[in-house]
Amino acid sequence: MASSSKPIEILFKHVDGIDIYMDVYLSPSSSQQSPAPILLWWHGGGLLQGTRKGVSPHHLRAPASHGVTFISADYRLAPQFRLPTILSDCADAVKFLHTQQFQKATEGRADASRVILSGSSAGGWLSLLCGYRIGFDEIGVPKPPSVQGVVPIYPITDLEDPFWTTTQRPVKYMDRVIAREEVQPFLNPDEPTSRIASSALDSPRAIFYSFMVQEAILADLLLSGTEIPPSTFSIAGSLKTRKLDCPPTYIVHGDQDLKVPVKQSRDVVQALEELQLKGNADCEYEYEELPGLDHLFDREPKSQMEKMYAFIVRVSSR
C-alpha cells in the first residue's frame, strides 16, 4: 500500500512530445470497499513556471489526517503553450480520474465520484475555471466533468485587474529590476527547450513570474495569437454575466499578499454574494481572509489549513 509520503506517479497525457504526470497520494485508510474522495490540486507560478512537486506540508499530511486522496497534476507551461492548451491539460486530468487506467493504478481506492478541485495562486484560478467550467465553450475545449467542490488558495482570478496590466519596476517584493536577458530563454514561444510541463522550483525559470509582474505581460504570455479576450477567463465577471455551474466553493487569501492581491479573491466573493442575494441557493461559498499573511503562507510546516479541510471533508461526504 502506498503511503502519503510516497506518491504513485501516473502518466495521464502524452502530447507534443511531452509527458504530463500526476502524483497520487492515497489515504492509508482507503480501500476498494471504502475509496477516499479526491482532492486534485494544481501548482502556481502564473502558468509560466512550477511543478507538481511543489506541494505544501499540509498537502502531504492530508491523506492520513483527513482521509482524502491528494493528487498533484502538471500542465504545460506558457508562453510556449497558451491558456487554451493549459486548460485542456487540466480538463484531461479531471477526465482521467474516471478511467479504468486510473482505477487500476490506484487499486480502486480513490473515488472519482467525489472530486474536489484545488490549486494555489494560478493553480487556484485553474481550479475555478475547471470547477465552474468557464471559458471552455469559447476556446473549443470540451468541458471537464462536474465536481463536488472548488478550493482555490490565494487565486489569480482576473487578467484585466490593474495589478496585471501596470508595470512595476521593481516589483514590491524585490529590490532590483529583472533584466530581460535573465528570462529571454523562456520568452520565446517556439523555444524547444522551454516547451515543458514543469520546472523545478529552484530552476532559472523560477524568476519568470516576477518578470511577468514587473512588465505587466501576463495576458500577452497566456493569450497572444489566440484572439481570445482576457475577460473570457474572469471569474467574477463570468459569475455576473453568465449562467454557470457553481459547486460549493471555499476561498482563502492572506490580506498582505504581494504576489496576487487579495482583491482577486474579494471580487469573486462579492460576485458569489450577489448571486446568493438574488436567490441563487446553489452558489454556496465560504471565504477566509487571513490578516497579516503574504503569498505562499500555507507552505509553512505549521500551517494546518483546518477550515479548508473541514470544508473538504464536509462537502465530499454529501
- Residue whose grid cell is 490593474: 162
Q: What is the pLDDT of residue 1?
A: 37
Residues in the chain: 318
Q: What is the pTM of this model?
A: 0.97
Q: How many helices (H) and strands (E) does the chain have?
A: 12, 8
Q: Are strands 69-73 and 18-25 parallel, antiparallel or unpaired?
A: antiparallel
Answer whether 225's CB lies under 8 Å from 82's CB. yes
Cα-based distances in Å from 22 to 96, 102, 136, 301: 10, 11, 22, 23
C-alpha to C-alpha distance for 40 and 116, rounded to whole angstroms: 6
Per-residue pLDDT of the chain (318 residues; tens, 9 = 90+): 344 468 999 999 999 999 999 999 999 999 999 999 999 999 999 999 999 999 999 999 999 999 999 999 999 999 999 999 999 999 999 999 999 999 999 999 999 999 999 999 999 999 999 999 999 999 999 999 999 999 999 999 999 999 999 999 999 999 999 999 999 999 999 999 999 999 999 999 999 999 999 999 999 999 999 999 999 999 999 999 988 889 999 999 999 999 999 999 999 999 999 998 887 767 899 999 999 999 999 999 999 999 999 999 999 998
Sheet holding 8-15, edge to edge: 8-15, 18-25, 69-73, 36-42, 110-120, 149-153, 249-254, 285-290
Domains located in the chain, CATH noted: 8-162+221-316 (3.40.50.1820)
C-alpha to C-alpha distance for 143 and 91, rounded to whole angstroms: 7
* 204: preceding bond cis by omega (within 30 degrees): no
Q: What is the pLDDT of residue 281?
A: 65
Answer whether 41's CB lies under 8 Å from 59's CB. yes
C-alpha to C-alpha distance for 260 and 256, rounded to whole angstroms: 9
Residue 249 DSSP SS3: strand
Answer whether 198's CB lies under 8 Å from 50's CB. yes
